[in-house]
Amino acid sequence: MTRKDVLVRRDLLGTNKEIAAGIRKELRRRGILAVNLLSSPGSGKTALLEALADRLKGRCRMAVVEGDIETERDAERIRARGVAAWQITTGGACHLEAKMVAKVLADVPAAIDFLFIENVGNLVCPAGFDLGEGLRCVLLSSPEGDDKPAKYPQAFATADVLLLTKSDLIPLLPFDPDRAAREALAINPRLKVFCVSALRGEGMDGLAAFFVEALAAERAARA
């Protein structure tokens, strides 16, 4: 990168940080827990949200912001579960930025508990952009391999939660969930780790309970 690139990037990140701080303050005021989901394409972010929607139904109110380069597909899948969803199509950009989320926030109803933000499928670039979330979750699906945390460290270093997804495929694959967790924890010891299968349900009740507890803790801290 040239000096000019570095300066532009610093400007961009500085502005993003300010907007993210504003979002965080607004969400706290409304008592909403925002969760930013980061992963490679196809790690199962949308399937996870579908499975969570079924488990939180009747207990908590959720809404979803979907980030994609193109198409409304993911928002349509979420709406089909009876959950409000807004699609942000970045038209080429490789990550969501706080200003994109801020625009949607005006439309989000006040009476919700969770705002899940599904980032663009990319294990690299989204890690550098705070969206004002209360929790950041990084997903690593078993078919991607257990060697990914050290190769893509920033996403794991900046997350609060590691979700090892597609656990139903583990018996068929050269994937050791303990190795993946160990490697991620070496980068970030405060990661809370869950092993889940959105398709088969394994681990999903525990994860839903964790989010409900995190919401209660967030609200207690605010009071």
Q: Rounded to the nearest whole angstrom, what is the least distance from the CB of residue 11 to a copy of itself in the complex?
A: 8
Residue 171 interacts with a copy of itself (CB under 8 A): yes or no: no
3-state helix, strand, coil in the chain (%, to 5): 50, 20, 35
- State the DSSP string of 105-117: HTTS-SS-SEEEE
C-alpha pair distances (Å), 133 with each of 2, 54, 105, 175: 31, 22, 12, 30
Residue 186 interacts with a copy of itself (CB under 8 A): yes or no: no
Q: Rounded to the nearest whole angstrom, what is the least distance from the CB of residue 8 to a copy of itself in the complex?
A: 5
- Looking up tokens 């460290």, which residue turns up? 153
| Contact range with a copy of itself by CB under 8 A, out of 80-88, 110-118, 140-148, 203-211 | 140-148
Residue 125 interacts with a copy of itself (CB under 8 A): yes or no: yes
Tell me the C-alpha distance between 31 and 168, whole Å. Answer: 35
- Pairing status of strand 62-68 against strand 84-89: parallel
Which residue, 49 or 214, is less far from a copy of itself as judged by CB?
Answer: 49
Binding-residue pattern over the window 39 to 58 for a copy of itself, x denoting contact by CB under 8 A: -xxx----------------
Binding-residue pattern over the window 150 to 169 for a copy of itself, x denoting contact by CB under 8 A: xxxxx-----------x--x
Start-to-end CA span in the chain (Å): 45
Count CB atoms within 10 A of the CB of residue 178: 11
Which residue, 87 or 134, is less far from a copy of itself as judged by CB?
Answer: 87
Alpha helix ranges (H) inside the chain: 3-30, 45-56, 73-79, 98-105, 148-151, 153-157, 177-187, 204-222
Residue 80 interacts with a copy of itself (CB under 8 A): yes or no: no
Q: Rounded to the nearest whole angstrom, what is the least distance from the CB of residue 56 to a copy of itself in the complex?
A: 23
Q: Which residues of the chain form contacts with a copy of itself (CB under 8 A)?
A: 1-2, 4-5, 8, 11-12, 40-42, 68-71, 73, 92-94, 120-125, 141, 143-145, 147-148, 150-154, 166, 169, 172, 174, 199
